[in-house]
Structure 1
Amino acid sequence: MISHATYQAAKFIAPLLNNYFEQYIIDAAGEDKKAHQVNSPSSEFIEALIDAAFWASLRKEEGNSPKISIAFLSPEQTTDPLLFGSRLRLTPRNLTKIAPGVEGSGIHLGVWFDETGLYIWGTTLNIPNYCFVLDVSEPALLVVKHRRLCGFGKFTNVAILKGDEIKVIDENSAFLPDSPQLLNYLLGLNTNTLQTESVNVLIQLAVSMRAHQKGGIILIVPTGSNTWHKSIVHPIQYLIDPVFTNLSKLVNEHSDIISEAFWESTVKKEIDNIAGLSAVDGAIILNDTYELLAFGTKIIKKSGAEQIDKLAFIEPIIGAEVKEIFPGELGGTRHLSAAQFIYDQRDATALVASQDGHFTVFSWSPERNMVQSYRIDTLLI
């Protein structure tokens, strides 16, 4: 038996998510023979999952709000699960009570069903591709996602629920004119392993950079080009000499000789090392092979260049429209300086994190003939 949800957003979004996951698994079955082994939760189960998670997020256990990752799968659909001796019914109280013990990175509460409804059977560190995952990120903030098909790290977000606000990710955003490659991978639309591993590094840089909550800018410039110097104040206080190549070597020399887990762990440490430098006032300069060139740099308008007066603003959620706005409407000095840098250096990309959690990717659109800004924090939560 399933009780009806009292969180109204759960009732609204459940059918949409059910259709999404059912179709997603059907589409994936043509490429992955394991896809049919994963179950999409029914609309009723999705509604119950979201409702329980939402009310649990508003509770506290020993003064702390719960942070939980819930995966919809049976113990037989994972490997080496930790099984509870007795099943726990899926209720806000049970989620809140168990939350302190399952907050570690990569730990998922396993939820399945019997004739009486949904229950928690234990925990797992391993979930299959296409598996429905619901994260309780903070009070009243839930994220529906699934495991990225290739690569490592950040899962692919499907929807964000924050109080009475619902944002459903629009995968078609990746097909807008000149959309940056990073957006394509964040939306989980490219499953080429070799390409994804490289771009996933950029995704992990964005996640790590956003996580330190101090704001920052990373400028990605073409390898072998020095034109970016024209948009930076000299002398550069924190110029890296020789160029720091640890991350670049790890990405380009990825080999089956070392274990996947060891490689991912080593890459993450190097990513966190570089992303941490974005907290220093000024911008990180990184080339497109992930060699660190400088950090703490000050951006200026290129000599003889015009001041940027407008840009395209895009948020990859259903119902959002492309808007042309003044750069100052996006945020503060970071956003304005990053937009000007891309206006002057049109073969570069800029990643900008705000202290309030917003994250924006700037790139040049030849088709629109202007700078475009993608607000992607909904994809990074």
Structure 2
Amino acid sequence: MMGAPTYQAARLVAGTVEQHFLQHQERARLLGEQNLAPVPPARLIEAIIDAAFWASLRREEGHPPKISLAFLPPDFAVKPMLFQKRIPLAPYMLTKLAPGVERPGIHLGVWHEQEVLYVWGTTHAVNSFCFVLDVSEPGLLVIKHRRIGSYGKFTNVAVLKGDQIKIVDEQSASLPDCPELLTTLLGFTSVYAPNDAVNVLVQLAVSMRAHGRGGTLLVVPANSEAWRGSILHPISYAVSPAFSGLSDQMHQSMEQRNLGLWQGALRREIDNLAGLTALDGAVIINNQYELLAFGAKITRAGGSVVVEQMVVTEPIEGNVAEIVNPSLHGGTRHLSAAQFVYDQHDAIALVASQDGRFTIFAWSPCEEMVHAHRIDTLLL
């Protein structure tokens, strides 16, 4: 290796990360999963994180690096691009490579010979539970892996920002007496979803966050018009009949889905819908993913009162729930979303902030108040 790691957070998190991958790979083998990527030992995890962290603080022609490192030997990769000569896993070399490999879906393959780590090339596909480390911005690293047979967003394991370490709590989806849609949304932390599982709300959340303008998405029951009582009329952009572009993709049978073509079409529909949240006002869809309106203004329902408290949690280990006034949690979007859910218990609201914060609001019958779930750590 290039020398003893000096980024303290790397040493603190390495053992926990190693155990996470070992435990999940063991369970995957018991379920019959094959071709799993090797698990890096803690000392190599520490060294990879250290190199990536110091690379993240450098700049190449004025730009910070955005790279993804995948720990696997080249013979595990599908159609990899191989370098003729190995490149040392060093901050300087990672920074030099970054401009050519910063597009989504490209991973730098990392392997080792004894204790020496090196980059062997690039790959677009990684095995289930392959250790992946993303450099998102200066000082911000995300450790993640692909779920078994899943599409879209990888599962985050840990987020490191400077000296802050956040370990994702995999039990965050096990909330008693919570709405089905919310359980599904938080359930993407589970790595053992069925092979055909596509969590559309997760992909919508990622796309909403990506446009950086902030926005609100309201999800209401398909068999109810009660939500209209919490919206100012006339709605700026009401849609009639409901637009079913995303719904049509989700209702295709597995036999009808040509994987490559279907994923591309699904991604376009998700991005088109998420793009509407950049406009002023909320986007409204039903739980069948049909678009009902956008540019909608939320108001307090007739006969209701102003929501005065809600519980706030974040699905990371060690987090403690807080009860706060919604006006102290965020801006107008957050307050109006909390009011909407307070008045419409069978709906949920997804709110993206311009600063990257992302919150799900849902009514919790077990707590008898609005529950705000901070999930930006999961979306990085």
TM-score by length of 2: 0.96
Name the residue aligned to 1:13: 13
CA–CA distance in structure 1, aligned partners of residues 326 and 139 of structure 2: 31
Once the two structures are TM-superposed, the CA of residue 68 in structure 1 deviates from its matched residue by 0.3
CA–CA distance in structure 2, aligned partners of residues 256 and 93 of structure 1: 48
CA–CA distance in structure 2, aligned partners of residues 33 and 336 of structure 1: 45
Q: Structure 1, residues 269-317: CA drift from partner, whole Å, max 9, x if none?
A: 1111111110111100000010000001000111001221111101011
Contact 2:342 2:369 in 1 (8 A): yes
In structure 2, the residue corresponding to 1:172 is in which secondary structure? coil
Q: Structure 1, residues 137-178: CA drift from partner, whole Å, max 9, x if none?
A: 010000000012243111000000001111111112221334
Contact 1:2 1:44 in 2 (8 A): no
Once the two structures are TM-superposed, the CA of residue 113 in structure 1 deviates from its matched residue by 0.6
CA–CA distance in structure 1, aligned partners of residues 195 and 16 of structure 2: 29
1:311 equivalent to 2:320? Answer: no
Name the residue aligned to 2:347: 348
* 250-259 or 264-273, larger mean C-alpha shift: 250-259
Once the two structures are TM-superposed, the CA of residue 185 in structure 1 deviates from its matched residue by 2.8
Name the residue aligned to 1:208: 207
Once the two structures are TM-superposed, the CA of residue 224 in structure 1 deviates from its matched residue by 2.2
1:192-203 → structure 2 map (5 Å cutoff): 192-194=194-196, 196-197=197-198, 200-203=199-202
1:126-275 → structure 2 map (5 Å cutoff): 126-179=125-178, 180-194=182-196, 196-197=197-198, 200-275=199-274
CA–CA distance in structure 1, aligned partners of residues 211 and 127 of structure 2: 29
1:25 equivalent to 2:25? Answer: yes
Contact 1:360 1:375 in 2 (8 A): yes
Letter in 2 for 1:247: L
In structure 2, the residue corresponding to 1:9 is in which secondary structure? helix
1:86-105 → structure 2 map (5 Å cutoff): 86-105=85-104
CA–CA distance in structure 2, aligned partners of residues 33 and 154 of structure 1: 20
Once the two structures are TM-superposed, the CA of residue 2 in structure 1 deviates from its matched residue by 6.0
Once the two structures are TM-superposed, the CA of residue 189 in structure 1 deviates from its matched residue by 4.5
Once the two structures are TM-superposed, the CA of residue 47 in structure 1 deviates from its matched residue by 0.3
CA–CA distance in structure 1, aligned partners of residues 312 and 263 of structure 2: 33
Contact 1:254 1:263 in 2 (8 A): no
Once the two structures are TM-superposed, the CA of residue 202 in structure 1 deviates from its matched residue by 0.9
CA–CA distance in structure 1, aligned partners of residues 147 and 327 of structure 2: 35
Once the two structures are TM-superposed, the CA of residue 183 in structure 1 deviates from its matched residue by 4.2
Name the residue aligned to 1:320: 319
TM-score by length of 1: 0.96
CA–CA distance in structure 1, aligned partners of residues 27 and 115 of structure 2: 31
Contact 1:184 1:190 in 2 (8 A): no
Gaps of 5+ in 1: none
Contact 1:73 1:131 in 2 (8 A): yes
* 88-97 or 256-265, larger mean C-alpha shift: 256-265
Once the two structures are TM-superposed, the CA of residue 254 in structure 1 deviates from its matched residue by 4.0
Q: Structure 1, residues 38-69: CA drift from partner, whole Å, max 9, x if none?
A: 21100000000000000000111111111001
CA–CA distance in structure 1, aligned partners of residues 185 and 168 of structure 2: 11
Name the residue aligned to 1:296: 295
Letter in 2 for 1:57: S
Contact 1:83 1:123 in 2 (8 A): yes
> Alpha carbons of 1:251 and 1:229: their partners in 2 closer, same or farther (altered >3 Å)?
same
Q: Percent identity?
A: 52
> Alpha carbons of 1:33 and 1:275: their partners in 2 closer, same or farther (altered >3 Å)?
closer
Name the residue aligned to 1:121: 120
CA–CA distance in structure 2, aligned partners of residues 123 and 133 of structure 1: 13
In structure 1, the residue corresponding to 2:228 is in which secondary structure? helix
Q: Structure 1, residues 235-274: CA drift from partner, whole Å, max 9, x if none?
A: 1120011211011000111443442111111111111111
Contact 1:2 1:116 in 2 (8 A): no
Contact 1:149 1:188 in 2 (8 A): no
Q: Structure 1, residues 174-223: CA drift from partner, whole Å, max 9, x if none?
A: 213345224433312451234x22xx211111011111111110000011
CA–CA distance in structure 1, aligned partners of residues 43 and 2 of structure 2: 7
> Alpha carbons of 1:103 and 1:176: their partners in 2 closer, same or farther (altered >3 Å)?
same
Gaps of 5+ in 2: none
CA–CA distance in structure 1, aligned partners of residues 319 and 157 of structure 2: 15
CA–CA distance in structure 2, aligned partners of residues 10 and 310 of structure 1: 38
CA–CA distance in structure 1, aligned partners of residues 216 and 107 of structure 2: 32
In structure 1, the residue corresponding to 2:277 is in which secondary structure? helix
CA–CA distance in structure 2, aligned partners of residues 285 and 112 of structure 1: 46
Letter in 2 for 1:222: P
Once the two structures are TM-superposed, the CA of residue 324 in structure 1 deviates from its matched residue by 1.1
